[in-house]
């Protein structure tokens, strides 16, 4: 009986320490309503903040911080962000 009590106590202590040491895990979120996201790096890791309508707006907000602006891969709108003209490049392969 006493041996089982100590075994359960040690097992519970190891499980508790392991759970607490992992910390909180945040889900990676991309807001599909905004075309530009800022990747912000902090001491504990990095996260994305998707609330910018242009790269210029994001770059202005990222200035002086450990951050980088990226195009949102999950942007839901069919339109491309305004400002810069995007065009498709077709490659002709000659055989």
Say if 37 falls within a structural domain.
yes
**Which range has the top average pLDDT, 11-15, 77-81, 84-88?**
11-15
* pLDDT of 80: 55
Tell me the C-alpha distance between 93 and 52, whole Å: 38
Say if 85 falls within a structural domain.
no
Say if 5 falls within a structural domain.
no
Structural domains counted in the chain: 1
CB 12 within 8 A of CB 30: no
Say if 4 falls within a structural domain.
no
Q: Which domain holds residue 65?
A: 26-77
Q: What are the phi and psi torsion angles at 19 (to 5°)?
A: -70, -40
Q: What's the token pair of residue 5?
A: 């009590």
Say if 15 falls within a structural domain.
no
Statement: residue 37 has pLDDT above 90 = yes
Say if 1 falls within a structural domain.
no
Q: What is the pTM of this model?
A: 0.51
Q: Which residues pair with 68 in a beta bridge?
A: 39
Q: How confident is the model at residue 9 (pLDDT cuts 50, 70, 90)?
A: confident
């Amino acid at each position: 009986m006493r041996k089982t009590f100590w075994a359960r106590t040690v097992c519970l202590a190891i499980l508790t320490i392991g759970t607490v040491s992992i910390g909180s895990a945040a889900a990676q979120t991309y807001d599909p309503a905004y075309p530009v996201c800022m990747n912000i790096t902090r001491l504990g890791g990095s996260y994305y903040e998707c609330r910018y309508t242009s790269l210029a707006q994001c770059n202005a907000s990222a200035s002086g911080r450990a951050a980088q602006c990226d195009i949102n891969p999950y942007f839901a709108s069919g339109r491309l962000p305004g400002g810069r003209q995007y065009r498709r490049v077709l490659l002709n392969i000659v055989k």
